Amino acid sequence: MTITQNDDPKISTDDDGTGPNHGEPVLRGKKRRRSAADFARQFLPPLILGAVIIGAWYYVSYGLLTQERRFLLRPPHEILQVGFLDWDHFSEILQALWSSTRVALIGLAISITIGFFLATIMSQTKIVERAIFPYMVMLQAIPILAIVPLIGFWWGYGTTSRIAVCVIISLFPIIVNTLFGLQSAERGLHDLFTLHHASRLTRLRKLMFPAARPAIFAGLRISAGLSVIGAIVGDYFFGQGAVGIGQLLKRYSSRLEGEELLAAVIMSSALGVTVFLFFGWLQNIAIGKWHESSGADS
Q: Binding residues for another protein, per CB under 8 A?
A: 1-3, 5, 20, 22, 186, 188-189, 191-198, 202, 206-207, 210-211, 213, 287, 289-292
Provide, rounded to whole angstroms, the least separation between the CB of residue 22 and another protein. 7
Spatial CA neighbour of 163 closest among 241, 220, 91: 241
Provide, rounded to whole angstroms, the least separation between the CB of residue 13 and another protein. 17
Provide, rounded to whole angstroms, the least separation between the CB of residue 279 and another protein. 18
Identify which of residues 1 and 296 has a Cβ nearer to another protein in the complex: 1
Identify which of residues 1 and 256 has a Cβ nearer to another protein in the complex: 1
Identify which of residues 6 and 160 has a Cβ nearer to another protein in the complex: 6
Identify which of residues 63 and 188 has a Cβ nearer to another protein in the complex: 188
DSSP string, 18-45: -S---S-HHHHHHHHHHHHHHHHHHHHH
Cα three-residue angle 272-287-227, rounded to 5 degrees: 25
Taking each helix axis as running N to C, give the angle between helix 159-182 and helix 144-155, from 0 to 180 degrees, rounded to the nearest 10.
120
Provide, rounded to whole angstroms, the least separation between the CB of residue 197 and another protein. 7
Which amino acid, residue 21?
N
Identify which of residues 168 and 212 has a Cβ nearer to another protein in the complex: 212
Provide, rounded to whole angstroms, the least separation between the CB of residue 126 and another protein. 18
Contact status, residue 196 vs residue 182, Cβ threshold 8 Å = no
Would you state the torsion angle of the CA atoms of residues 144, 271, 157, 132, taken in this order, to the nearest 10 degrees?
40
Cα separation, 103 vs 227, in Å, equals: 9
Cα separation, 17 vs 117, in Å, equals: 37
